[in-house]
């Protein structure tokens, strides 16, 4: 019984204390906006701690420097929409002028972004879009068509457009992977590629070990295999490693999507002589230029509007307020040392 009385006493003390603090803070009820001095943008990636998003942040800060905007890069440590929302809400309270976000769930972050818009912040999504009415412009990766058909061309040009090829994908449910694979299949039906035959789609689950095991299985099951397309930044280096260890770099052409840093050693030795990716630094850079243009009223999301985005040149808004960031970069043993990311 004594303990319950104590619990009640503590409860009363807490309530009184909370009430006291609330009363004390009445005077400063309205958040003090310290934004008068300068423009501030908040960049929220899906999560922090992996190279691609860090590079987005690097590019965004570079653009901010050119434009005289201070850019904050911060986000949750895991890919969770629920954990992105507190960042959005505090950005509003801190008096930021714009939010740039890559969403973990297009709908779950939308209410918070709408609240932000209602308070006068400008919202731009990039990399992974949010619900359309929650942002003004979406800066998208290179479109599905050019990424999908590009990889077929990269592998085809290495094997004389002839022979068996396989795809090493990520997970069976990954939307972007499946969209690219669909484009690859339709591309293979074109006359130019009619002598190339897709024999297998393997799934490495974006896991290094599983990707390597699947690659080995491909080599065993298809002795006549001429090419592998691995459109995943985990799968491609894993496949390159397996080919190198098996001494098959000369006989099997490898392509896909990955950062140059993860492929440099292999590419220089002839494993994966042609592969691509968009420039993640430019991605963040462009997003900040777009947010600035939205703030200045130069972009409203209508199709056909265009801006000059610093060193990237002119970029145009397409349908639904989507602005693609341009064609992917292609890496070869000759040019790979120019790219450090």
Q: For residue 52, give the H/E element and its range.
A: helix 51-67
Nearer to another protein, 104 or 255 (CB): 104
Q: Please report how close the Cβ of residue 55 comes to another protein at its closest, in angstroms.
A: 16
Contact string 123-142 vs another protein (x = CB under 8 A): --------x-----------
d(CA 56, CA 35) in angstroms, rounded, equals 24
Structure tokens belonging to residue 168 = 């090493």
The SS3 assignment for 256 reads: strand
By CB under 8 A, residue 80 contacts another protein: yes
d(CA 15, CA 21) in angstroms, rounded, equals 10
d(CA 67, CA 39) in angstroms, rounded, equals 10
Contacts of 322 (CB under 8 A, 6+ apart): 129, 137, 138, 140
From the list 63, 69, 71, 110, which residue makes contact with another protein (rule: CB under 8 A)? Answer: 110
By CB under 8 A, residue 50 contacts another protein: no
d(CA 235, CA 230) in angstroms, rounded, equals 6
By CB under 8 A, residue 58 contacts another protein: no
Place of tokens 């070990």: 209
Structure tokens belonging to residue 259 = 């950062």
From the list 35, 38, 66, 74, which residue makes contact with another protein (rule: CB under 8 A)? Answer: 74
From the list 77, 118, 304, 313, which residue makes contact with another protein (rule: CB under 8 A)? Answer: 77
Contact string 160-199 vs another protein (x = CB under 8 A): -------------x--------------------------
From the list 25, 297, 313, 319, which residue makes contact with another protein (rule: CB under 8 A)? Answer: 25
Q: Which of residues 306-325 bind another protein (CB under 8 A)?
A: none
Nearer to another protein, 70 or 216 (CB): 70
By CB under 8 A, residue 93 contacts another protein: yes
By CB under 8 A, residue 221 contacts another protein: no
From the list 4, 250, 319, 338, which residue makes contact with another protein (rule: CB under 8 A)? Answer: 4
Tell me which DSSP letter residue 31 carries. Answer: P
Q: Which stretch binds another protein (CB under 8 A): 99-107, 145-153, 236-244, 290-298?
A: 99-107
Find, among 27, 83, 77, the residue nearest to 53 by Cα: 77
d(CA 247, CA 133) in angstroms, rounded, equals 53
Nearer to another protein, 39 or 94 (CB): 94
CA distances from 194 to 52, 253, 269 (A): 35, 18, 30
- φ, ψ of residue 36 to 5 degrees: the values are -55, -40
Find, among 108, 139, 73, the residue nearest to 293 by Cα: 139
Nearer to another protein, 18 or 303 (CB): 18
From the list 59, 64, 76, 235, which residue makes contact with another protein (rule: CB under 8 A)? Answer: 76
By CB under 8 A, residue 2 contacts another protein: yes
Tell me which DSSP letter residue 70 carries. Answer: E
Residues binding another protein (CB under 8 A):
2-4, 6-7, 9-11, 13-14, 17, 21-22, 24-26, 28-32, 47-49, 72, 74-78, 80-83, 85-87, 89-90, 93-94, 105-111, 115, 131, 173
């Amino acid at each position: 019984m004594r303990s319950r009385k104590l619990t009640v006493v503590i409860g009363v003390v807490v309530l009184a204390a909370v009430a006291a603090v609330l009363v004390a803070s009445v005077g400063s009820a309205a958040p003090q906006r310290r934004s008068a001095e300068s423009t501030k943008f908040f960049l929220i990636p899906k999560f922090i701690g992996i190279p691609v998003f860090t590079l987005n942040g690097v590019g965004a800060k570079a653009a901010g420097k050119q434009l005289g905007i201070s850019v904050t890069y911060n986000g949750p440590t895991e890919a969770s929409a629920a954990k992105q929302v507190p960042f959005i809400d505090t950005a509003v309270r801190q008096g930021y002028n714009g939010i740039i976000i890559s969403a973990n769930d297009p709908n779950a972050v939308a209410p918070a972004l709408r609240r932000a818009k209602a308070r006068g912040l400008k919202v731009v999504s990039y990399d992974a879009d949010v619900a359309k009415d929650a942002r003004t412009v979406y800066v998208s990766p290179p479109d599905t068509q050019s990424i999908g058909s590009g990889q077929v061309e990269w592998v085809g040009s290495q094997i004389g457009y002839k022979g068996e090829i396989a795809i090493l994908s990520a997970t069976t449910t990954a939307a972007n992977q499946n969209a690219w694979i669909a484009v690859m299949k339709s591309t293979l039906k074109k006359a130019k590629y009619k002598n190339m035959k897709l024999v297998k789609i393997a799934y490495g689950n974006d896991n290094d070990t599983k990707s390597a095991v699947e690659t080995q299985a491909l080599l065993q099951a298809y002795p006549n295999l001429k090419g592998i397309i691995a459109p995943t930044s985990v799968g491609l280096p894993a496949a390159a490693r397996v080919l190198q260890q098996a001494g098959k770099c000369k006989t099997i052409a490898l392509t896909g999507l990955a950062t140059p840093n993860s492929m440099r050693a292999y590419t220089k030795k002839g494993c994966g002589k042609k592969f691509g990716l968009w420039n993640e630094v430019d991605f963040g850079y462009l997003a900040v230029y777009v947010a600035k243009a939205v703030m200045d009223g130069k972009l409203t999301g209508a199709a056909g509007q265009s801006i000059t985005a610093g060193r990237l040149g002119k970029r145009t808004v397409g349908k639904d307020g989507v602005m693609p960031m341009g064609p992917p970069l292609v890496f070869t043993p000759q040019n790979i040392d120019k790219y450090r990311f």
